[in-house]
Amino acid sequence: MQVKNICCIGAGYVGGPTMAVIALKCPHINVTVVDANPEKIKAWNGPLEQLPVYEPGLAEVVKEARRRNLFFSDDISGNIEKAEMIFMAVNTPTKTEGEGAGMAADLRYIEACALDIAKYSKSDKIVIEKSTLPVRTAEKIKEILISEGSGVHFEILSNPEFLAEGTAIQDLFKSDRVLIGGDETESGQNAVQALVDIYANWIPKEKILTTNVWSSELAKLASNAMLAQRISSINSLSSLCEITGANIEELSKAIGMDHRIGPKFLKASVGFGGSCFQKDILNLVYLCKYYGLEEVADYWHQVIKINDYQKNRFAQKIIDHFGGDLTGKKITVLGWAFKENTNDSRESPAIYVAEKLFKAGAILEIYDPMVSKESIFRNIDFYWGSSKKGDLKSQISVIDSVSKLDLSNDAVAILTQWEAFKSLDYLKTVVFDGRGVLSSSRYSIGRG
Ligand code: NAD
Ligand code: UGA
């Protein structure tokens, strides 16, 4: 099949960058990204410095592709109708109510996409799951498309995204692999080939892996679970290091030099954050329970429990340092994003650590180079629940420039590993570094 028009539903952290790269690499295809949020579409069409997603290299890609074959639009129906291939890149958060609340993936946005596709399609379409979904979701999507559609043929593929925020463009240019799951029928395989042909414009063929739909859906959840598992493993050992005098960075290096283990994802931290690891593992745990695999569910749930333990342990270290009470103590919080080089703060460990410090009475001065004051207060409002009832105005301030930071406060907590924080002059400050190296001699900890 000759694909001339692609439509992507969802202009977020995945839809925006992935489609920008497809448009850049496939100048012969028109790529239109649509979203239910018109403000977001406006921002994607606006000045390059104010795109809704901050990613190194993204603005350059958008600049070039937007001049040619990349479009952002709020005309969902028209663009569905026009496209031969439709990506669904909408959010799939953890359910907050109903069956599976707190664990299962909330599929309402995916279902809404499927309904729209069924409603507005007047010709055959290839429909692609780009969002991260529970295994066997394609079955549900097919049901919706068939029951609500007007007789056109839909082929459903799974093509999960593996980019990491902060390195999204580099990851998309040089993916470790592109995974495409499709039906083993002739039309299924034709659809797989149509998508392979798109990626083959810049991804070497041997890196494009085709599987059945269920393997592809599950491989995405499993990949995130295994990455997070490595972080929880090293973080669990950081507490043992602190008691025994072993050094966690030395330990990581020694373990990672075994080529069978490898050095990546062994950096101890204040815990992993981001919108995906926790929700995807919870989803995996839910699926295991659903299929009666209690032991498997418990095994993966432990990855989350260690992560919660690590965030809590870090905040408690700071509180204990001041004798259990932070009333009146001024603490500089460096970093709010869930990792460096992104403006995304969803599920950031900083939110949880700051909450605990705040509850213990601390006066917080927060600074992040990319997360705005509005986003920080939105996060506090969303995540802190009843604990935000303290005096937010007098206890929390957000600094908008590194030059305004007061490093003579009672303590500094480094919660995101931004490069800019490495060269600050901490000489007279008590520094708690979220790299799990609380007793490092790099800073004058305890000698403030
Ligand atoms: P996001 O929240 O940044 O973006 C989702 C967008 O979809 C939003 O702009 C929302 O307005 C839009 N949307 C929701 N329902 C819609 C509908 N019915 N019609 C039109 N627009 C709709 O989410 P994201 O971070 O881009 O993640 C999307 C999916 O990709 C998730 O399943 C996530 O797990 C997966 N994923 C994310 C990353 C990442 O780094 N963020 C990486 C790999 C996979
Ligand atoms: C992660 C995966 O790396 C991507 O492959 C996947 O596509 C994506 O989730 C997703 O499905 O959303 P992301 O969350 O953007 O990407 O970023 P990571 O680099 O994986 O970092 C996640 C968290 O782990 C961050 O809080 C980071 O600071 C932490 N981390 C990472 C550590 O604590 N130690 C490490 O060694 C590595």
> What confidence tens digit (pLDDT) does each residue in 299-354 have?
999 999 999 999 999 999 999 999 999 999 999 999 999 999 999 999 999 999 99
- Among protein residues, the one whose CA lies closest to atom 3 of ligand 1: 12
How many angstroms does the Cα of residue 130 sit away from the middle of ligand 1?
A: 9
CA atoms within 13 A on the CB side of 283: 27
Under the banding of pLDDT at 50, 70 and 90, the label for residue 446 is very low
Q: Is the CB of 231 under 6 A from ligand 2?
A: yes
Residue of 53, 178, 224 best suited for mutating to test ligand 2, as the one with most atoms within 8 Å of CB: 224
CA angle 271, 273, 274 (to 5 degrees): 165
Q: What pLDDT sits at residue 440?
A: 40
User: What backbone phi and psi angles, to 5 degrees, belong to 2?
Assistant: -90, 110
Token pair listed for 276: 């995906």
Q: Which residues pair with 413 in a beta bridge?
A: 333, 432
Q: pLDDT digit string (tens) for 282-306?
A: 999 999 999 999 999 999 999 999 9
Residue 434 has pLDDT above 60, yes or no: yes
- Find out whether 145 and 114 touch, Cβ atoms under 8 Å: yes
Name the residue with tokens 């927060």: 366
pTM of structure? 0.95
Distance CA(422)–CA(279), nearest Å, equals 31
Token pair listed for 371: 């997360």
Average pLDDT over residues 14-28: 98
Average pLDDT over residues 171-185: 98
- Among protein residues, the one whose CA lies closest to atom 38 of ligand 1: 14
How many angstroms does the Cα of residue 13 sit away from the middle of ligand 1?
A: 7
Within 6 Å (CB) of ligand 1, which residues are found? Answer: 9-15, 35-37, 40, 89-92, 109, 112-113, 131-132, 161, 163, 165, 275-276
- Find out whether 130 and 159 touch, Cβ atoms under 8 Å: yes
Q: Where would I find the H helices in 121-199?
A: 137-148, 168-173, 186-199
Convert 294-330 to b/e letters by CB count within 10 Å (16 or more is b): eeebeebbbbbebbebbbebbbeebbebbeeebeebb
Q: Is the CB of 164 under 6 A from ligand 2?
A: yes
Which atom of ligand 2 is the closest one to the Cα of 171? 5
Active site residue 276: yes
DSSP 157: E
Q: pLDDT digit string (tens) for 204-220?
A: 999 999 999 999 999 99
Under the banding of pLDDT at 50, 70 and 90, the label for residue 447 is very low
How many angstroms does the Cα of residue 129 sit away from the middle of ligand 1?
A: 11
Q: Is the CB of 276 under 6 A from ligand 2?
A: yes
Distance CA(427)–CA(409), nearest Å, equals 12
DSSP three-state, residue 128: strand
How many angstroms does the Cα of residue 340 sit away from the middle of ligand 1?
A: 20
Residue 430 has pLDDT above 70, yes or no: yes
- Among protein residues, the one whose CA lies closest to atom 31 of ligand 2: 265
Q: Is the CB of 120 under 6 A from ligand 2?
A: no
- Among protein residues, the one whose CA lies closest to atom 27 of ligand 1: 91
Q: What pLDDT sits at residue 252?
A: 97
How many angstroms does the Cα of residue 16 sit away from the middle of ligand 1?
A: 9
Q: Is the CB of 95 under 6 A from ligand 2?
A: no
Q: What pLDDT sits at residue 394?
A: 84
Residue 347 gets the label, from left (phi > 0), alpha (psi -120 to 50) or beta, of left
Q: Is the CB of 339 under 6 A from ligand 2?
A: yes
DSSP three-state, residue 373: helix
CA angle 358, 362, 364 (to 5 degrees): 80
Residue 382 has pLDDT above 60, yes or no: yes
Nearest residue to 435 (alpha-carbon basis) of 297, 269, 239, 314? 269
Residue 244 has pLDDT above 70, yes or no: yes
Catalytic residue among 8, 26, 241, 276: 276
Residue 439 has pLDDT above 50, yes or no: no
